[in-house]
Amino acid sequence: MRLFGTATAVICTALAGTMFVPSARADDWNRKTVVTFSGPVEIPGVHLQGWGVLPAGTYVFKILDSQSDRHIVQIFNQDETQIYATILAIPNYRLQATDKTVITFRERPAGQPEALRAWFYPGKNWGEEFVYPKAKAIELARTTNTPVLFTPVEIPLEVATPVKTAYEPFVVKFKQAPILAIKPTGEEVQLAEVVTPPPAETEVAEARAPVAPEPALPHTAGTLPLIGLAGFLALGGALALWATRKRVTVKA
């Protein structure tokens, strides 16, 4: 998937003063990633009441469900005792994987928090492009002058209690939700007009562990060499038998 031109990409490093702090490569199956924001970050719904903007601090990102082309991402507090948000995302493709976590943002006017855009796990060519509610997508598209993904499905922006499973009603709704893009002009367009899906073989290659090929048998020109070898062995056996009988006759 093409990353939109003006997005700000920040790579996790160990240097003080950077936007993120690198994390250990934990459970690969759910892409657990620990990030530290040095400033406030706006996130899509669905989030806990009052948590539409995450304050500076350390958070944990995880994949709740990725069994289709609709991925569900959750954001936790640092010790994973509180779920702040459950967010709809779709695969986002990049040509070059890195060994660091990469999170991109939509630049906002001075004084406004940057808006979360995409999250790439270390070593992966495809990550998560976040989908915003329509009203917020229209606002972001205008202020950032870039297309923004949105879903027209009515889904609550805030919840009183956190989502804990992939089977809760609105999570199931997420998986079936149509996704479009809104341009800075306000025009709604199909997803294919602004994004490029990841190559099918890339996802298959990442989903399956490589299998070592079985050792091949030596190649022969055909059956003639085998026939010749058998004849040679038979001749040798016959000569050995004749020599043995001769020795026995002499001793007799």
Domain extents in the chain: 8-205
The answer, yes or no, to whether residue 216 has pLDDT greater than 70, is: no
Helices (H), the chain: 134-144, 169-176, 200-207, 224-251
Q: What is the pLDDT of residues 49-77, one digit of tens each?
A: 999 999 999 999 999 877 777 789 999 99
**Which distant-in-sequence residues (6+ apart) come within 8 Å of 107 by Cβ?**
6, 7, 8, 114, 144
Three-class SS of residue 26? coil
Q: Which of 192, 177, 205, 171 is nearest to 73 (CA)?
A: 171
Q: What is the dihedral of CA 12, 198, 89, 183, to 10 degrees?
A: 100
List the Cα angle 21/25/28 in 5-degree steps: 135
Please, is 35 exposed, middle or buried when counting C-beta atoms within 10 Å of its C-beta (0-12, 13-18, 19+)?
A: buried
Tally of CB atoms within 10 A around 48: 19
Q: Which of 47, 240, 242 is nearest to 133 (CA)?
A: 47
CA distances for 55 relative to 43, 47, 59, 97, angstroms: 11, 14, 10, 29
Q: What is the pLDDT of residues 143-157, one digit of tens each?
A: 999 999 999 888 788
Amino acid at 196: T
pLDDT given at position 17: 27
Q: What is the pLDDT of residues 85-120, one digit of tens each?
A: 999 998 888 878 888 899 999 888 888 899 999 999
Tally of CB atoms within 10 A around 91: 19
Query: Which of 100-104, 124-128, 160-164: highest mean pLDDT?
Result: 100-104
